[in-house]
Amino acid sequence: GCFLLWLLPSILRARASPETRPSSPLCQQSPTKVSCKGVGLRKFPKELGQGIKYLELSNNFIQNLSGSNMPGFGQLEYLDVCFNQLESVSAAALAELPRLRSLLLGSNHLDRNYLANGEAFHLLRNIEVLDLSVNSLESHMASWYISNLTSLRVLDLSGNAMTKLLAGTFRSSPRLRQLDLSSNYIMEIQEGAFEPLEELEVLNLALNSLHCISGFSLTQLQVLNLSHNALELFSEEEGAEPYLLRVLDLSHNRLLSFPELPRAHDLTHLNLSNNLIASLLPGSPHPWEFVLPYKEMQRFNRTVRPMAALTHVADLDLSDNRLELFPFSFFHSLGSLHSLSLARNCLQDVARDSVANGTELSVRSLDLRSNALRVLPRWFFDSLPHLESMDLGSNSLQPCESQGSDQGRDLGGDSHTSAPGDACTPFSNVPRLKHLSLSRNNISRLQPHAFNQTPLLSLDLSGNRDLSMPTGALAGLELSLQELSLRDNQMDEAALPCLGTLRVLDLSGNHLSLLPTGLSCSPLESLDVRNNNLQALGAVRSWSHSLRAVSVAGNPWSCCSLGWLDT
């Protein structure tokens, strides 16, 4: 007992010393960084040591930040209090954080005391990153919170209850570079709302209720996301300064025509998917002109502003629209275009006019899935000399037969549209095509040498019910094909040549009782034969050193012929 009493003063002095102050037992701590994420805290952990620069308190139950709870945090630069129950922030608390640069307060209740909280925020003159997302803030509340934050560079106001952007909202934040206003209810942007933001580079207005963007003049902006709104019109102000915009997302809107872009811009990525575009001509003031058939577009009133040259666009997404024709004349000026998607439109044909005759597009990846295409003429492939990947799934295309490297070159002729008599599409002699999908095309018979002189690495022929593959159908792919899918074709048999580079084969969903002959030549690494009529895997010894994955469920395996399992 005497021994313990003698030690007691030393123990008390040790507890009082800041250097040996114990940390919260549930927090992870290093000399300058502490994480107390999701440990059940109900108040600010004032027992933490000094010198902390990074503090994470997200996913707790903290309701207020007061000065009495925050002594000794003068070095703090980063504070995360997201996903708490925060509704009160005192000026005394923020006065204790003179070096704070990043403050994350998303998913709290800062709408409840916004007047007092906003007054306290006036002390955050050095704050550069602020997250106020998902706080039920209305437009005037958000404006009040940031009304004195002159050093702000990154601001997140997403997931709030803002219905309009007031003209003076960003007057005190001219250094903003990234602004997220997504997932609000914004229907109106007052004139001049963005004028002070001369350094803004990234703007996210997705998931709002905007109907029109007219006279857009943020020339310094590089990334603009306006997806998931109700836009029927998008036009940018034509001025002397070139636009620096590189990425523009207008997907999931109600655009009826191609947007009006400034003639001087650096746009490289343009997403127009999930709109109502039936014409690829620039916007017109007359709604009834939006749905003119392609052949009548030549008589279109050219008094509208000339379309901007899309010379830098590398990625263009026009999927899920209402286009009926693939007009080469529109893509004539897209000299940098590498990826083009027209999936899920109403395409029935491809068309070119005299201007586009002989035009070569730079496209490397082309997605034409889920249209109504029946034939692609030879000139279509000749106009795409750099094509490497092509998805033609869910159309009605029948591959042509080809016996040599030059045959089929004139199939389809040079007519501006496919001739009515053409019933097949030539996939031979496409010198750079490496990846091709013809899934769900109702192909009943694959003709011999259908892909001759086309160096395919992957071929998808799945979903073609009762597909017949005679000997020689894949001739010409022996030294290139690495992945082949014949899934869900309900085939009774399949003849494959000696595919010396085949690594991945999907034969699932058929009626095969025997594996195709010729498979022993292939160095298979993955084999899927689920849901067939197989009783044994006879050629498995050929792959004993290469096979890594095999799927065999749903077959009537014979218990007397399981030697392949030992292999």
Domain 398-402+424-566 has CATH 3.40.462.10: no
Mean pLDDT score, 441-465? 96
Residues 210-281+307-396: name the CATH superfamily. Ribonuclease Inhibitor (3.80.10.10)
Tens of pLDDT along 33-90?
Answer: 999 999 999 998 877 767 899 999 999 999 999 877 677 788 999 999 999 999 999 9
CA atoms of 393 and 462, how far apart (whole Å): 9
Q: Where in the chain is the domain with CATH 3.80.10.10?
A: 210-281+307-396, 398-402+424-566
Q: Which of 303-307, 547-551, 554-558 has the lowest mean pLDDT?
A: 303-307
Q: Which of 162-166, 324-328, 466-470, 495-499 has the highest mean pLDDT?
A: 162-166
Q: Quick check: 285 pLDDT over 70? A: no
Among candidate residues 419, 244, 256, 236, the one with its CA nearest the CA of residue 323: 256
CA atoms of 481 and 461, how far apart (whole Å): 13
Instruction: State residue 483 phi and psi, 5-degree precision.
Output: -135, 130
Q: Give the residues across from 79 on adjacent strands.
A: 55, 103
The predicted pLDDT at position 352 comes to: 72
Cβ pair 162, 135 in contact under 8 A: no
- E strand segments, 284-428: 315-317, 325-327, 339-341, 349-351, 365-367, 389-391
| 244-251 long-range Cβ contacts below 8 angstroms, 24+ apart | 244/219, 244/220, 245/221, 246/222, 247/222, 247/223, 248/224, 249/206, 249/224, 249/225, 250/226, 250/275, 251/227, 251/275, 251/317
CA atoms of 329 and 289, how far apart (whole Å): 19
Q: Quick check: 1 pLDDT over 70? A: no
Which stretches within 31-112 are classed as H helix? 91-95
Tens of pLDDT along 249-270?
Answer: 999 999 998 888 877 678 999 9
Q: Which of 170-179, 305-314, 491-500, 530-539 has the lowest mean pLDDT?
A: 305-314
The predicted pLDDT at position 245 comes to: 92
Region of 301 on the Ramachandran plot (φ > 0 left; ψ -120 to 50 alpha; else beta): beta
pLDDT band at 403 (very low <50, low <70, confident <90, very high): low
Tens of pLDDT along 481-509?
Answer: 999 999 999 999 988 999 999 999 999 99
The predicted pLDDT at position 286 comes to: 38
Q: Quick check: 455 pLDDT over 90? A: yes
pLDDT band at 522 (very low <50, low <70, confident <90, very high): very high
